[in-house]
């Protein structure tokens, strides 16, 4: 077995170790490289910034704990921004396994910003039906969610005053890790009920949502940890996303180096095989 062949069949635990170190070391010793703000993230930020005090902001946390590292920082930043702008916040989730986490993040940020449940914000929780919930909210918000997550009747809540359905929402953002998520909110929500929509998603999902972004179906997109880090910069509150960017930089670079090395060995093997073929002929 040649050196190239041996290198191509390297023990995968060595690769795991490299990735592990590339994640761990930057977390322990952060560098803090500058981050450029993308127009997609600025789209969401600018729209929230343009909303007047008391405008209705709906945040749908459509993800489960598996996507927590990427979408949790996005949720924190968006909630901080909305509360700082004194918007009326309606939070909910279309993913049953994310309900507890969504409740925690909304409660935690609201407490940090001195906001009162029922008056400044409400967490509606989860309701079965997936996309049907969006249509139901578009028809009658109180029919879809007769009570909030704490069992309090939604009718009569000061935060929901003057809101009958999704047509009364000024801006909605879905932080989606799959289906139902951003696409479902566009197809079943914005298209019919005509509210402005923004999106947030995991890094792997972001390329799939660019057609919605380019056509104006969503007015902004926060993609993965990078998007969350950009939002943290925009609201000037450093958080977990910015802290994780160095680790992401190092792992991306490690994977690129690994791919280049693998290709170098692959081409050297191909060259050897060709040479052997010629000498054999």
Partner 1 sequence: MIFLRRQVPLLITLISGLVFAAQYYVPHPVSEQMLTSVTKWLQIISGFALVLGVSSLFHVHAVKIRRKEAGWGYSFVLYVSMLGTIAVGLWSNGKEAVDGTMTAFGWVYNFMMVPLQGTMFAILAFFIASAAYRSFRARSREAAVLLIAAVIVMMGRVPLGEYLIPLSGDLSQWILNVLNASVRRAILIGVSLGTVALSIKIIFGMERSYLGGGKE
Site residues, partner 1 (CB under 8 A): 8, 10, 12, 15-16, 18-20, 23, 33-36, 38, 64-69, 97, 100-101, 103-104, 127-130, 132-133, 135-136, 139-140, 143-144, 192, 203, 206-208, 210-211, 213-215, 224, 226, 245-246, 248-256, 258-263, 266-267
Q: Which of 161, 157, 127 is nearest to 144 (CA)?
A: 127
Nearest distance from C-beta of residue 170 to partner 1, angstroms: 22
Q: Which is nearer to partner 1, 128 or 162 (CB)?
A: 128
Q: Which is nearer to partner 1, 260 or 273 (CB)?
A: 260
Please answer whether residues 177 and 152 qualify as being in contact, where contact means their C-beta atoms are separated by less than 8 angstroms.
Answer: no
Nearest distance from C-beta of residue 160 to partner 1, angstroms: 18
Q: Which is nearer to partner 1, 85 or 192 (CB)?
A: 192
Nearest distance from C-beta of residue 248 to partner 1, angstroms: 5
Q: Which is nearer to partner 1, 79 or 87 (CB)?
A: 79
What is the C-alpha separation between 220 and 38, in angstroms, rounded? 10
User: CA-CA distances (angstroms) from residue 100 to 11, 92, 150?
Assistant: 40, 11, 12
* CA-based R_g, the chain, Å: 23
Question: Residue 36 burial by CB count (10 A; 0-12/13-18/19+): exposed, middle or buried?
Answer: exposed
Q: Which is nearer to partner 1, 57 or 126 (CB)?
A: 126
Q: Which is nearer to partner 1, 86 or 251 (CB)?
A: 251
Question: Residue 33 burial by CB count (10 A; 0-12/13-18/19+): exposed, middle or buried?
Answer: exposed
User: CA-CA distances (angstroms) from residue 251 to 204, 218, 231, 233, 257?
Assistant: 15, 30, 22, 22, 10
Nearest distance from C-beta of residue 261 to partner 1, angstroms: 8
Nearest distance from C-beta of residue 93 to partner 1, angstroms: 13
User: What is the separation, in whole angstroms, between the first and last Cα of the chain?
Assistant: 22
**Angle at the Cα of 48 (from 198 to 99), degrees rounded to 5?**
60
Nearest distance from C-beta of residue 239 to partner 1, angstroms: 16
What is the C-alpha separation between 121 and 116, in angstroms, rounded? 7
Nearest distance from C-beta of residue 241 to partner 1, angstroms: 12
Q: Which of 266, 230, 260 is nearest to 36 (CA)?
A: 230
DSSP code, position 53: T
Q: Which is nearer to partner 1, 61 or 87 (CB)?
A: 61
């Amino acid at each position: 077995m040649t050196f190239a062949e041996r290198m191509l069949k390297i023990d995968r635990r060595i690769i795991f170790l490299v990735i592990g170190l590339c994640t761990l070391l930057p977390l322990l010793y952060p560098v803090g490289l500058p981050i450029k703000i993308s127009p997609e993230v600025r789209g969401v930020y600018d729209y929230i910034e343009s909303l007047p005090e008391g405008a209705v902001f709906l945040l749908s946390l459509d993800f489960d704990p598996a996507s927590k590292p990427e979408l949790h920082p996005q949720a924190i930043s968006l909630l901080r921004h909305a509360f700082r702008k004194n918007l009326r916040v309606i939070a909910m989730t279309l993913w049953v396994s994310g309900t507890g986490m969504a409740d925690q993040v909304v409660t935690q940020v609201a407490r940090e910003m001195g906001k009162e449940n029922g008056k400044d914000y409400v967490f509606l929780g989860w309701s079965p039906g997936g996309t049907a919930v969006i249509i139901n909210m578009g028809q009658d918000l109180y029919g879809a969610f007769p009570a909030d997550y704490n069992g309090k009747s939604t009718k009569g809540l000061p935060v929901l005053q003057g809101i009958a359905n999704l047509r009364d929402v000024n801006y909605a953002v879905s932080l989606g890790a799959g289906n139902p998520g951003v696409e479902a909110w566009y197809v079943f929500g914005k298209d019919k009920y005509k509210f402005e929509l923004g999106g947030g998603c995991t890094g792997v999902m972001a390329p799939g949502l660019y057609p919605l972004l380019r056509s104006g179906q969503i007015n902004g997109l926060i993609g993965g940890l990078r998007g969350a880090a950009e939002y943290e910069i925009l609201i000037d509150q450093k958080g977990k996303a910015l802290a994780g960017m160095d680790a992401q930089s190092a792992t991306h670079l490690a994977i690129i180096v690994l791919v280049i090395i693998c290709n170098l060995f692959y081409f050297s093997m191909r060259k050897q095989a060709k040479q052997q073929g010629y000498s054999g002929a």
